[in-house]
Amino acid sequence: MADLTITPSDVVVSSNAVIEHGTAGTTVTAGQMVYKNTTTGKYELADNNSATAAVRQPRGIALNGAANGQPLAIQKSGDITLGSVLTAGTAYYLSDTAGGICPLADLATGEYYVLLGLAKSATVLSLDVQYPGVAVA
């Protein structure tokens, strides 16, 4: 399999979403996973095989597109519609492609397990980020 191909216009929050606002530190597209850079305070793309632990710990999923320095809204938890790219009951993880989302089968040795959530349907992900700090052996 491959990373999910998310159409930015399909990214829609639900009534139980926990949302945070900030500033992009790089170009971000709606549907990408981001972390908060503790040095700059800006959101950048998360990556499960980064040498920097903080980059492997996503804060949430971008709800809008933004360039460096522009406002960015992220969803930290709750249900989120991503479009018809999910398989109900499947767990989705942070990818080794910056900002990407993938199924478990795509994780490889040296990457880190970062559970993003479980698909409730073909379109909705129940977002609940969990980073245990464990690498794939």
Domain boundaries defined on the chain: 8-130
Predicted confidence (pLDDT) per residue in 46-87, tens digit: 999 999 999 999 999 999 999 999 999 999 999 999 998 999
Across the range 124-129, mean pLDDT stands at 98
Domain 8-130 carries which CATH code?
2.40.300
pLDDT at 2: 87
CA dist., res. 104 & res. 95, Å (int): 9
pTM of the full predicted structure? Answer: 0.96
pLDDT at 51: 94
pLDDT at 1: 59
CA dist., res. 116 & res. 102, Å (int): 9
Across the range 108-117, mean pLDDT stands at 96
